[in-house]
Amino acid sequence: MTFSIVATDGTAWGVAVASKFLGVGAAVPAAAAGVGAIATQSWANLAYRPDGLALLRDGRSAQETLDALTSADEHRDQRLAGIVDAAGRAATFTGTGCNPWAGGATGDGYAIQGNILVGAEVVEAMERAWLGTNPTQPLARRLLAALTAGDDAGGDRRGRQSAALLVVTPDGGYGGGSDVFADLRVDDHERPVTELARLLDLHDLYFGKPDPATLLPLDGDLADEVRRKLADLGHADDNLDSALAEWAGIENYEERLVPNKIDPIVLEQLRAQ
């Protein structure tokens, strides 16, 4: 009922998944920074997520973890799962009782799998898309590219309903307070993968870090312009950084603030207001 990719670039681990199933993001993905990532699907055994991460933390490889999970599961024939471990080793499992088409593919740093698909072309398209991405791209973007390719190839043969993206990396969360870089879910939508892409764009806008090479000094005419615009919006302060921080905090751009400078993306949003 689902197609997914589990992958790592060596610094982040994540899962992208789509399905004709309500809220697939609540059931399929799990990941821990420096540990690995897991997708459990096809009559999903949700215990695979905590149990699998525990086995990975104990030093088991992806294959050893998947073997341990399935061997202890009396309904293993109905399961489908993929795992990538801390070292990028990957494993996928397709039970003999999964609804066709069902299967998977693995390579260095990725496992792709699905069931109730229109055919093998879904997994093949996802693998081509993953391998065709630039390794320097953020993992979230590479995962989305693979998921989009699977969706374009036909995906779940029953139709579309939900999609999700989970990516973890050390201190990657909001304010550096967690490892969860992105946890985006589309629970019920006619075009869930397209909607997931829109959410990722918003995530990058609000939570992306500024590129130091593009930062603009807040001085001269630019400082005067920013000060005027902030004052017009009710954020007047002799300290320009304070005024900008007040506005940015309300608009949720605080992750893009740098003292005495302004991110062009933030400037664009300010000018748009």
Cβ–Cβ under 8 Å, residues 14 and 171 = no
Please tell me whether residues 78 and 108 are part of one structural domain.
yes
Please tell me whether residues 233 and 183 are part of one structural domain.
no
On the 0-12 / 13-18 / 19+ scale of CB atoms within 10 A, 134 is: exposed
On the 0-12 / 13-18 / 19+ scale of CB atoms within 10 A, 254 is: middle
Contacts of 73 (CB under 8 A, 6+ apart): 45, 79
| Sign of the Cα pseudo-torsion (236, 240, 243, 247, in order) | positive
pLDDT of residue 167: 98
pLDDT of residue 216: 98
Please tell me whether residues 218 and 202 are part of one structural domain.
no
Closest CA to 115 of 9, 3, 14, 199: 3
Please tell me whether residues 55 and 108 are part of one structural domain.
yes
Please tell me whether residues 161 and 243 are part of one structural domain.
no
Please tell me whether residues 38 and 162 are part of one structural domain.
yes
- Give the domain extent around 94: 2-207
Domain end, chosen from 207, 240, 259, is at: 207
Please tell me whether residues 113 and 81 are part of one structural domain.
yes
Q: Which two tokens stand for residue 176?
A: 């550096």
Please tell me whether residues 203 and 233 are part of one structural domain.
no
pLDDT of residue 23: 97
pLDDT of residue 182: 98
For residue 94, the domain's CATH number is 3.60.20.10
Evaluate the omega torsion of the peptide bond into residue 247 and state whether it is cis, within 30 degrees of 0.
no
pLDDT of residue 81: 98
Domain end, chosen from 177, 207, 237, is at: 207
Cβ–Cβ under 8 Å, residues 155 and 113 = no
- CA–CA gap between residue 173 and residue 96 (Å, rounded): 39
pLDDT of residue 1: 62
Closest CA to 61 of 40, 86, 41: 86
pLDDT of residue 153: 97
Torsion of CA 117, 121, 126, 131, to 10 degrees: 160
State the total domains in the chain: 2
Tell me the β-bridge partners of 217: 261
- One pLDDT digit (tens) per residue for the chain, 273 residues: 699 999 999 999 999 999 999 999 999 999 999 999 999 999 999 999 999 999 999 999 999 999 999 999 999 999 999 999 999 999 999 999 999 999 999 999 999 999 999 999 999 999 999 999 999 999 999 999 999 999 999 999 999 999 999 999 999 999 999 999 999 999 999 999 999 999 999 999 999 999 999 999 999 999 999 999 999 999 999 999 999 999 999 999 999 999 999 999 999 999 999
- CA–CA gap between residue 142 and residue 135 (Å, rounded): 8
Please tell me whether residues 112 and 7 are part of one structural domain.
yes
Overall pTM > 0.85: yes
Closest CA to 41 of 107, 117, 108, 109: 117
Domain end, chosen from 189, 207, 225, is at: 207
Please tell me whether residues 178 and 233 are part of one structural domain.
no
Please tell me whether residues 179 and 71 are part of one structural domain.
yes
Contacts of 237 (CB under 8 A, 6+ apart): 230, 243, 246
CA atoms within 13 A of residue 21's CA, in its CB half-sphere:
22
Please tell me whether residues 56 and 190 are part of one structural domain.
yes
Give the helix/strand (H/E) hosting 35: none
